[in-house]
């Protein structure tokens, strides 16, 4: 038996908008282990800056980037 897990092309992630706290569902392209992306909130249309990291096991963690300047 193989324990290999082949990551799918895209990964579904759920975040909360830092502006209105609406749940935002978006797709992550897992082709890159580390990427930064911007998703618009579906409710308030504010840009949410995301820092997406995948570890050696293919586990994806999404960090919100504060934009506070």
Chain residues binding Zn ion by CB under 5 A are: 17, 19-20, 22, 41, 43-44
User: Between residues 59 and 64, which has the closer beta carbon with respect to Zn ion?
Assistant: 64
Least Cβ distance, residue 25 to Zn ion (angstroms) = 13
Token pair listed for 29: 């392209």
Residue closest to 26 by CA, chosen among 66, 65, 62: 62
User: Between residues 10 and 22, which has the closer beta carbon with respect to Zn ion?
Assistant: 22
User: Between residues 17 and 28, which has the closer beta carbon with respect to Zn ion?
Assistant: 17
């Amino acid at each position: 038996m193989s324990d290999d897990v082949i990551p799918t092309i895209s990964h579904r992630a759920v975040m909360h908008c830092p502006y209105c706290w609406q749940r935002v569902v978006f797709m992550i392209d897992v082709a890159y282990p580390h990427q930064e992306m911007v998703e618009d909130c579906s409710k308030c249309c504010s840009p949410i800056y995301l820092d997406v990291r995948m570890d050696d096991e293919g586990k994806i963690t999404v960090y919100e980037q504060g934009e506070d300047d």
